[in-house]
Structure 1
Amino acid sequence: MKPSKLTLVITFILIFWFSLQPAIDPDTGWHIATGRYIVEQKSIPQTDPFSFSLPNHPYIAHSWGIDIIMYEVDKLAGPVGLSILFALLTTAFFAITYSTINHKSLIINHPFWLLLIAYPAIEIIGTRPQVITVIGLAWLLRLLTRPLSSRHIWQIPLGFFIWANLHGGVVLGLVTYGLWLGLSFLLHTYKPVHQIHLLGLVLLSSAATLLNPYTFHLFTFSWGMITNSTSMVYNSDWVPLFSGRLGDDSLIVRLIIVAGSLIAIFDQKKSAKTLAFLAGGFLLLAFKSLRFLVPLLPVVTLLVSPMLQKLAGKLTTHQWFFPAVGLVVFSLTFSVLSDKSDVFCSRRPECYAKLAEMPFGAVDFMANHHLSGRVFNFYTWGGYLSWQIPDSQVFIDGRMDNFFVSKKSFLTEFVAIEEQHKGWYDRLMSYRPQLAIIPVGWQVQQQSLILNGWQNLYQDNVAILMQAP
């Protein structure tokens, strides 16, 4: 029995509200700054416009399309608008996934089960441009799980063109498509004529992705990101799935994802073997790098959803089932309708900075005293500074772990200063910084800078602003 329209509407409203989070990812700032640069300069950057440390380094703005959208939304509605944007995009992912299940006649009679899937999924997606790739993969799987005689299958090359100009995760889309094709050959899923159609569409889609401002360099950049060993040590987005650098607060979510993935993979019939193999491959990659949870999510969601419905069918024979479901739905409803004050508080710059743990006081001091120039900064603060003080240049931001100098990630240069490697001060001064915004915990570096003539301009419980002699 199909769910009522009211049930579906309520479910997706709850998913939207549950997805509504402050847009405080450290990379948010440089995405907005990139969008602003493109709009104001009417060109897409080819070299880095934000740093003084590597001013002429090639820059692949792989998410330039969504960066423009983020800039325009922020200009119109501020950080609250960004929160709404990402909540809508996350809800769109679940809507596409639900329509895929519906089309396959695997209808979830009680779509509130989607809320159970939403809990770990929203933790993975966050408020980041990677949601474009999550949506793209859900869309691709929706088309691939339909009969190949469907005219909708010919949307794929156009979709890849749009995807390539919104987010660089399109590379994962091509990998997924290629794996799907290879597995379909091995498992004899399609007739030979349909296999030829799929191969032709893969080639057309690959060509379509090259129609972006960086052509094939988008792919070489993506390969560099995936194989960046430095990021897998220092960048929490790329560390292994159970790295000690990840906090315990996300451990439950990661365990749920792994357990759900394993159950889904080993509980599939032949009709879903292709999806199961894909899920297994991405799960293995996720153990090496957390980022591969992004392509894993849409695949596992498709596998888990009908399993939950099957389980529900068995449980409905018990008298306690509906009261228990009512309690779960009530609890989830109460949870997602709970206080969202952080989202609306983020419209105030000082509140946003507090939530994001950014140096608002130092930035405000610079603005009030008309200070600008070359700013040495903490790694995760660079994007925020490029966004808030566009007249200044930063030392490093979240893009630059994928900037390579002599085959070494530039992030290692920052780590040498942060960890006070031998000669760290001379290394810093070789870049001729004029200002520094450093964490209050950097007391050794602060004292060394003072001994070398630097002046303390401002200090609060987050950051120290210093000026070079």
Structure 2
Amino acid sequence: MDPNATLEDTAHDSSRQSLLKRDRQVTAGQSTAEGNASTLPRWLRVSLIGVLVVFVAIRVVEPLRDPDSFWHIAAGARLAHTWDFVTTDPWSASSTQPWILNQWLPELAMSAAYRLGGYAAVVWLFIIASVGVLLVVWATCRARSSMLTAAVITMAAFFALSASLSPRPQLASFALAAVTTHAWLRSIDDHRPRWWLIPLTWLWACSHGLWFLSAGIGSAAVLGLWAGRGVRGRDLTRLALVVLGSLSVGALTPVGPRLLASPFQVHEVTQFITEWQPPARTDPHLLVTLALLVLATVGAWRPPRSRRWAHLLLCLMALALALTYVRTIGLAAVIAAPMAAGALHGLTGMARERVARTEILVTTGLVLLALGVAGLTAAVRAQDSGLGPEAMGPALSKLPGGTVVCNDLLYGGWLILEHPDLRPTMDSRFEIYSVDQIEAYRDFISGGSNWRQYVASTGCAYALLKADSPALQVVSGAGWRTEATTKDLVLMARS
């Protein structure tokens, strides 16, 4: 054994332990020091998050009306029978791209709920998932701040993501992004790798297409530690391996290596998807997220220089997410929330109360109460879909199997779920359609001059359209006959 190498290793370990000890002392001074007690009664502070859960759980009870929810349910049911994760779409009459089921775990859960209790059960599952996201964000904030501060920041973050709150697998990304951010903030503090992030990322990769953010959050943390000279050598390597492992597991899901390329398939059609457009600068959800980021950035200057750059890079990453797409505003808020909570806690000087049994019991009791009341409410209010096409069901059931229906996009997923023998021409799975096909549909639904070419290319014999649709006017003028009508819909037959 080289005695010089031994001395160098010993000196390095001693220096590292000294730095960590100093950083922990600073962190402890920020997060656990005796501060000014809140003027709010303790019983009220203990109840804050539970009351928020009750409000959210009851507020989100409404009939299922997100067009995506219906085909997600159908996808889970089909997957349970075929276990085919990359396939040709079995429903649409005009899809051209392979269908990659990269959100299969939540889809299986949604289909199981639908099989057990119909739409009401799916709505209740959505309520459970929404409450779960809220509690995870709160837990990450509570770990770095007082009860009151954690509740305030959680409310702000939840408002920021509320625009994307719908019965879809993307809820998994909000929850898992919060957990991942919290884990990497802890690694920034103590330089210890959280190896469990690798299997967690695998779970994320089975749940939603934004799973690669796990590696992005980790990369920002590791690069920041390297830039701040906060970590080096073996510790830096181990942290980098967590990032590499988190990225690699995407190829090990049932979808296989194709999962790594699936975001590029969606990227080709994002121009047609509202939630993938840049947000308006006056969007209130964006403004709240930016406020959280301002707080988080202020807080980033409080830790020692060795950790400062890691916090700043996480803030920059969240800022890019907030400004780039409407859909990623909520993710930016989730990433910023724990850092904002820590910053606000430091500014207020309040004491960070120990998480006591009373807090856990009160929160658990209010959560169970909220879910129970919301479940009963959903059973009454959410038996039918919120889209309202059920009255057209009898007429659609009379159509022969395999009939192609030129439909309004809004009802594509509902047709796939409720009338799988029919073949709609468009639904909200834009990634399985070519750009030309989407543009042709838009021309048809707007009553454009090329609508006949769309009808001919898809081979539709019927059209399911809104009563005020321009497409209804042009097909009526071309001699199509009315087969059935409801308050909002008209079923036309090609003459």
Category of TM-score, reference length = shorter chain: 0.7 to 0.9
Q: Is the 8 A contact 2:66 2:167 kept in 1?
A: yes
Residue 38 of structure 1 corresponds to 79
Residue 11 of structure 1 corresponds to 49
Q: Is the 8 A contact 2:191 2:231 kept in 1?
A: no
Q: For 1:31 and 1:207, locate their aligned partners in 2 and report how far apart those are by CA, in whole Å.
A: 26
Residue 235 of structure 2 corresponds to 194
Alignment of 1:156-171 (within 5 A): 156-171=197-212
Alignment of 1:386-397 (within 5 A): 386-397=416-427
Residue 147 of structure 2 corresponds to 108
Alignment of 1:362-441 (within 5 A): 362-367=392-397, 369=398, 372=401, 373-400=403-430, 402-405=431-434, 408=435, 410-441=437-468
Residue 213 of structure 1 corresponds to 254
Among candidates 231, 234, 237, match of residue 270 of structure 2: 231
Deviation, structure 1 residue 433: 0.7
Structure 1 residues 51, 121: closer, same or farther in 2, change over 3 A? same
Deviation, structure 1 residue 18: 0.6
Deviation, structure 1 residue 25: 1.6
| Structure 2 counterpart SS, 1:48 | coil
Q: For 2:51 and 2:67, locate their aligned partners in 1 and report how far apart those are by CA, in whole Å.
A: 27
Q: Is the 8 A contact 1:440 1:463 kept in 2?
A: yes
Q: For 2:394 and 2:44, locate their aligned partners in 1 and report how far apart those are by CA, in whole Å.
A: 48
Deviation, structure 1 residue 298: 1.5
Structure 1 residues 71, 6: closer, same or farther in 2, change over 3 A? farther
Which shifted more, 374-383 or 110-119? Answer: 110-119
Residue 491 of structure 2 corresponds to 465
Structure 1 residues 279, 85: closer, same or farther in 2, change over 3 A? farther
Deviation, structure 1 residue 280: 2.7
Residue 69 of structure 1 corresponds to 109
> What is the identity, as a one-letter code, of the residue corresponding to 2:317?
G
Among candidates 166, 180, 202, match of residue 126 of structure 1: 166
Q: Is the 8 A contact 1:133 1:173 kept in 2?
A: no
CA displacement 1:178-234 (0-9 Å, x = unmatched): 233223222233243221001112222222221123323222221332x33x533x3
Deviation, structure 1 residue 80: 2.8
> What is the identity, as a one-letter code, of the residue corresponding to 2:456?
M
Structure 1 residues 189, 26: closer, same or farther in 2, change over 3 A? farther
Structure 1 residues 258, 102: closer, same or farther in 2, change over 3 A? closer
CA displacement 1:393-436 (0-9 Å, x = unmatched): 21111112x2353xx36422211212334322122222111221
User: Are 1:84 and 2:124 counterparts?
Assistant: yes
Structure 1 residues 295, 210: closer, same or farther in 2, change over 3 A? same
Q: For 1:385 and 1:275, locate their aligned partners in 2 and report how far apart those are by CA, in whole Å.
A: 47
Task: Note the residue ranges of structure 1 that are not aligned, 5 or more in a row.
Answer: 316-335
CA displacement 1:120-149 (0-9 Å, x = unmatched): 333333332111111111111222122477
User: Are 1:50 and 2:79 counterparts?
Assistant: no
Among candidates 257, 262, 266, match of residue 289 of structure 2: 257
Deviation, structure 1 residue 150: 8.4
| Structure 2 counterpart SS, 1:153 | coil
Structure 1 residues 358, 262: closer, same or farther in 2, change over 3 A? farther
Q: For 1:448 and 1:97, locate their aligned partners in 2 and report how far apart those are by CA, in whole Å.
A: 50
Residue 347 of structure 1 corresponds to 382
Q: Is the 8 A contact 2:157 2:333 kept in 1?
A: no
Structure 1 residues 125, 275: closer, same or farther in 2, change over 3 A? farther
User: Are 1:135 and 2:175 counterparts?
Assistant: yes
Task: Note the residue ranges of structure 2 that are not aligned, 5 or more in a row.
Answer: 1-33, 352-369
Which shifted more, 378-387 or 273-282? Answer: 273-282
Q: For 2:474 and 2:164, locate their aligned partners in 1 and report how far apart those are by CA, in whole Å.
A: 40
Percent identity reads 18
- For normalisation by structure 1, the TM-score amounts to 0.80
- For normalisation by structure 2, the TM-score amounts to 0.77
> What is the identity, as a one-letter code, of the residue corresponding to 1:280?
L
Structure 1 residues 411, 426: closer, same or farther in 2, change over 3 A? closer
Q: What CA RMSD, in Å, does the superposition of the two structures yield over aligned residues?
A: 3.3
Among candidates 241, 256, 268, match of residue 279 of structure 2: 241
Structure 1 residues 53, 47: closer, same or farther in 2, change over 3 A? same
Q: For 1:431 and 1:200, locate their aligned partners in 2 and report how far apart those are by CA, in whole Å.
A: 49
Deviation, structure 1 residue 4: 7.0
Q: For 1:254 and 1:151, locate their aligned partners in 2 and report how far apart those are by CA, in whole Å.
A: 33
Q: For 2:187 and 2:220, locate their aligned partners in 1 and report how far apart those are by CA, in whole Å.
A: 18
Deviation, structure 1 residue 452: 3.6
User: Are 1:297 and 2:333 counterparts?
Assistant: yes
| Structure 2 counterpart SS, 1:27 | helix
| Structure 2 counterpart SS, 1:99 | helix
Which shifted more, 131-140 or 262-271? Answer: 262-271
Q: For 1:422 and 1:301, locate their aligned partners in 2 and report how far apart those are by CA, in whole Å.
A: 50
Q: For 2:238 and 2:167, locate their aligned partners in 1 and report how far apart those are by CA, in whole Å.
A: 37
